[in-house]
Amino acid sequence: MDRRVLKSQAAIKNALIELMAEKNFDDITIQDIADRADVNRGTIYLHYEDKFDLLDKLIEEHIDMLQKLCEDIADMSFTDGEWVWFDYFEKNYLFFSTMLESKGAPYFRTRFLQLVIEELKGEVDAAEEKNQGLSKDVVIHFFGAAIIGIVEWWVSNGMPYPPREVAEQVGKLLDRNF
């Protein structure tokens, strides 16, 4: 793809995230995004149907990247794998903090939780002693919600611990239970 197109798309995506950090998604207009990205409205419409399509594509881009990271870390320990994720969260802090704190993007949290649950499915063994008598679905949803909760807490509080430290603690908790 042409570098100018990539540069315009990146500016548009960054503009949307910045605006969502400042105000409600419903109050953001295409003109607001164009002004912030320093592009014409027409440029936005060349790539996206509307602001909802832009948001959906931005969310799917990050979900796809997290899925790719999951594939890359499949053979790692929980701690090392979590470090890769928390490093990604840190590098994309504005996106994650905005999406997890924004009332205009509940779809992101739902997609993020779905991804975590899918990744945990292969890790739970309901026949294992520590999970005996527990529903696999309950265990998976419990830990999925816990992981999302930790990420929300971490980014909402300005990342009070370095990614490696949080990853080690989350990894230890997962090791104890899987």
Instruction: Look at 177 and 68; give whichever has higher pLDDT.
Output: 68
Give me the pLDDT at residue 29, please.
97
Nearest Cα to Cα of residue 83 among 172, 178, 176: 172
Give, for 11, the enclosing helix (H) or strand (E). Answer: helix 3-22
Give me the pLDDT at residue 177, please.
81
Least confident of 56-60, 94-98, 106-110: 106-110
pLDDT tens per residue, range 117-156: 999 988 877 677 777 888 889 989 999 999 999 999 999 9
Give me the pLDDT at residue 134, please.
86
Q: How many CA atoms lie within 13 A of 65 on its CB side?
A: 15
Give me the pLDDT at residue 107, please.
87
pLDDT tens per residue, range 72-103: 998 998 889 999 999 999 999 999 999 998 76
Residues 6+ apart with CB under 8 A from 143: 120, 174, 177, 178
Nearest Cα to Cα of residue 85 among 101, 100, 99, 96: 96
Whether 74 contacts 120, CB under 8 Å: no
Q: Tokens at residue 171, please?
A: 């990894």
Whole-angstrom Cα distance, residue 73 to residue 35? Answer: 39
Mean pLDDT score of the chain:
92
Give me the pLDDT at residue 128, please.
72
The residue length of the chain stands at 178
Give me the pLDDT at residue 103, please.
67
- 25, pLDDT greater than 90: yes
Give me the pLDDT at residue 133, please.
84
Whether 174 contacts 78, CB under 8 Å: yes
